[in-house]
Amino acid sequence: MDNSPNVAAAGAADDPETVEITDSGASLMTDAERRERQIRRVVGVIVAVTVLSLNFEQIQLLTGPNRSVLIQATVTGILIGGVYGLVSMGLTLIYGVLHIINFAQGALMTVGMYSAFSLVSRFGFDPYATVVFTVAFLFVIGAIVQGLLLNRIMKESLEKQLLLTLGLSVFLENVLLLLFSPTPRAVQLPYARGSTSVFGITVEWPFQVFGAVASLPRTIAFFGAMALAGLLFLLLQRTSLGVRIRSVADNPRGAALVGIDVQRTYILVFGLGAACVGAAGALVLPFLSLEPTTGESFNVIAFVVVVLGGMGNVVGAILGGLIIGLTQQIGGIIFTGQSNLLGVFVVFVLVLFLRPNGLLGRAH
């Protein structure tokens, strides 16, 4: 960006008048841009200082005797952030390849949770064994949705596709309400308290870290989500399937020209995106109360994470998930008396305006 004046001057060197105009025009542009960047920085600092000074007492408390509260929030935030990362990875994959904002991501997650719940309560499955089933089930649902519905309106406007997923979300949520009623459900983990031995190291649950508590279900959810996210990343980076998906994301027409079935790749991608929330749903089931609307909050958070990480950026989704997990938990302490989602939305709006391409994305 900073080289552009030189390039413009060199390109028009044989016409001195043009050089001057182009040069001054270009440097004016960069001046304006630089000034704007400075203004942004100043505004950001002012906002941050005001917010923090308003809550100065809370922060003093945190560094003082209540430090364990902060550590607890950090541990909880990171653990749940891993799950946010997995949910968001599905959303960002769908956006990156299909350019669809999938409003049904949360509802699909609830479907995954209820199917896991049914397997546990009816057939006595271990909650974590259901992951295999929910991943396959949600993959099929996602593939059907893309194949039967979305593939036919891929050429329509963004709003049409968004509204279709919205309709799907309303439909799924209320079918679940019809089938399971609004009564909250919960799954108990029989071995949540006890000890585990890994490589000769015995861990007592709930696990103590610097005075903070990490419960077994949350720890499993975090590592499970990270492992699955890693697998998906390897699939995208290291397999021929991944190459196919990435080439369709880059240039669908070019991909079609070299013989890739674009429609089928779309089906696959939506299936994979849905499978992510299938897995996430089964992983969070042991520590969340389940209602037909449980997935909604994950939906909202996943949007924030996806914008934060850069829409379509798979690694950014994991990073963004961790950041938002932390923001939610620590923001809940700093903004006492407010919903812990408020801090998340403040971050959301700031990122939308200041870094719309995400933390890892290049400035536009």
Partner 1 sequence: MQETLQRRLSGIDVNSRAIILIGLAALFVPQFAAGSNLDVATRIVLFAALSSAWNIMAGYAGLFSFGHAAFFGIGAYATAYLLAVQGISPVVGLVVGAIGGALFGLLLGYLTFRYKLRGAYFVLTTFAFAEMLYLIAMKFSPINGAVGLRVPIRREESWWWMQFAPNSPNYFYLMLIYLLITLVAINMLMRSRTGQYIVAVRDDEDAASALGINPLRSRLIAVAWSGALTAAGGTFYFQYLFFIEPPLAFGPNISVEILLPGVIGGMGTFWGPLVGSGLLIILGELTTSFVRQPPEFLSFLQGRSGLDLALYGALLIGIIMFLPRGVYGTLAHRWEVRRERQVHRAEASSRDGMKEQRDD
Nearest residue (CB) to partner 1, 71 versus 360: 360
Task: Select the span of 14-22, 86-94, 241-249, 347-355 touching partner 1 (CB under 8 A).
Answer: 347-355
Under rule CB under 8 A, residue 360 binds partner 1: no
Under rule CB under 8 A, residue 345 binds partner 1: yes
The residue type at 152: R
Under rule CB under 8 A, residue 341 binds partner 1: yes
| Residue 362 burial (CB count, 10 A) | 8
Nearest residue (CB) to partner 1, 36 versus 204: 36
Binding mask 293-332 for partner 1 (x = CB under 8 A): ---x---x--xx--x---x---------------------
In the set 169, 313, 327, 329, which binds partner 1 (CB under 8 A)?
A: 169
Nearest to 70 by CA among 285, 297, 289, 329: 329
Under rule CB under 8 A, residue 254 binds partner 1: no
Concatenated DSSP letters of 185-231: B----TTSSEEEEETTEEEEESEEETTEEE-HHHHHHHHHHHHHHHH
8 Å CB contact between 320 and 88: yes
Nearest residue (CB) to partner 1, 164 versus 324: 164
Under rule CB under 8 A, residue 167 binds partner 1: yes
The Cα 56–Cα 47 span in angstroms is 14
In the set 32, 170, 231, 235, which binds partner 1 (CB under 8 A)?
A: 170
What number of chain residues touch partner 1 (CB under 8 A)? Answer: 47
Under rule CB under 8 A, residue 10 binds partner 1: no
Concatenated DSSP letters of 260-301: --HHHHHHHHHHHHHHHHHHHHHHHGGGS-B-TTHHHHHHHH
The Cα 30–Cα 39 span in angstroms is 14
8 Å CB contact between 136 and 122: no
Residues 259-298 that bind partner 1 (CB under 8 A): 292, 296
* Interacting residue ranges for partner 1, rule: CB under 8 A: 95, 99, 101, 149, 152-153, 156, 158-160, 162-164, 166-178, 181-182, 292, 296, 300, 303-304, 307, 311, 337-339, 341-342, 345-346, 348-349, 352-353, 356
